[in-house]
Amino acid sequence: MICAGLVVAAGVAVHPQSESLSLNVCHAGSLQAAFTDLEKAFTKQHPDVTVTDVSGGSVTLARRLASGVQACDVYASADYLNIERMLEPAGMAQYTVVFARGRMVLAYLTTDPKTQGVARSGEFNPPATVPDAASGWYQALLAADVRIGGAHPFLDPGGYRAHMMFELAQKHYGVASLYNGLLEHYTVIPAAAGADAAAAPTLGREYSFQFTYEHSAAAVAARNPTYRYVHLSDQIDLSNPGNNRDYARAEVTMPGLGIAGAAVPVTIPATSVAWGVTIITKSPNQQNAMAFVNLLLGPTGTAALNTHGPAPVTPAVVSPNDYAHIPKTMQALVAAKPIAP
């Protein structure tokens, strides 16, 4: 049985079930579609295990895990550095496996008059053909009354990646104060679920632009004919691992997890977009967690990622230092090499 979209209220104690019955999968919202398929496949193989699916902002999930509010056996983040720089120093994880990559795009609605002129001419038929952003695209984002919607940068990688892209855009175009100008137009969209979701701010109404993951944007475009997105330069869109040294010129510093051993504060440099997964060190469901991660890193997970995104890294990558810490059953599914230059 899969319990999808579980919301855990602050202050609620979590009592883990026995090893043979339970698995708590905590993952970035950008993985929802792929992980839904994966959890269904896992349940078929392990019908006695109850899988609890918990989706949300990656940093939010790490904070809930650290505070004891949220039980996680498997933790999959939209930024592998959340594991390396937040969970590992606190002793909550021993290794980071990079299993998927992607890119950031600029999304908008064609029905919003404030978005006119942001895209070059060309066919929009994702994923095969997607127009590039027009020259000076950022001018549309700086216009009066325009808002750029996104997550809080201390709670979600999508939020802090937008801020990193503002900084990289200023450096790429050489436009003074572009970072500050874009930042002034950024508005935080609070996470909403259940009845609150219907009243949440929406693209084309409360805000006109959004920086988001391409696979997520493509899924929305398939459902909404007015939804569009454009590609930005790979000097800005965090898509090219070969640019990691340049990306790292932008960074975000946020409060730590607030527990013993955790870094305070945490600085995360910009890197190419890469999703990471780990098994929580004190998970009471280690065997089930290993079986799930093995499924993710194998053909079943690759198929789910190819269908829904983000793009799988095959084989998945783990740093040489972390390789010795991963379970032996996983070692055959990963390559030990530097994750980033």
For the chain, domain boundaries: 2-101+258-263+271-336, 104-238
Whole-number mean pLDDT of the chain? 92
Q: What is the pLDDT of residue 260?
A: 80
By the 10 Å C-beta count (0-12 exposed, 13-18 middle, 19+ buried), 233 is classed as middle
DSSP 249-290: TSEEEE----STT--SSEEEE--S-EEEEEE-TT-S-HHHHH
Answer whether 309's CB lies under 8 Å from 216's CB: yes
pLDDT tens across 51-74, in order? 999 999 999 999 999 999 999 999
By the 10 Å C-beta count (0-12 exposed, 13-18 middle, 19+ buried), 83 is classed as buried
Answer whether 301's CB lies under 8 Å from 295's CB: yes
Q: What is the pLDDT of residue 17?
A: 42
pLDDT tens across 78-110, in order? 999 999 999 999 999 999 999 999 999 999 999
| Domain 2-101+258-263+271-336 shares a fold with domain 104-238 | yes
pLDDT tens across 257-267, in order? 988 878 789 99
Q: What is the pLDDT of residue 196?
A: 57
Domain covering 104-238 assigned CATH 3.40.190.10 in the classification: yes
Alpha helices by DSSP H, the chain? 32-45, 58-67, 81-82, 138-141, 157-173, 178-184, 214-223, 244-247, 286-297, 299-308, 320-323, 328-331
d(CA 209, CA 55): 23
What is 2-101+258-263+271-336's CATH topology?
D-Maltodextrin-Binding Protein; domain 2 (3.40.190)
pLDDT tens across 30-51, in order? 999 999 999 999 999 999 999 9
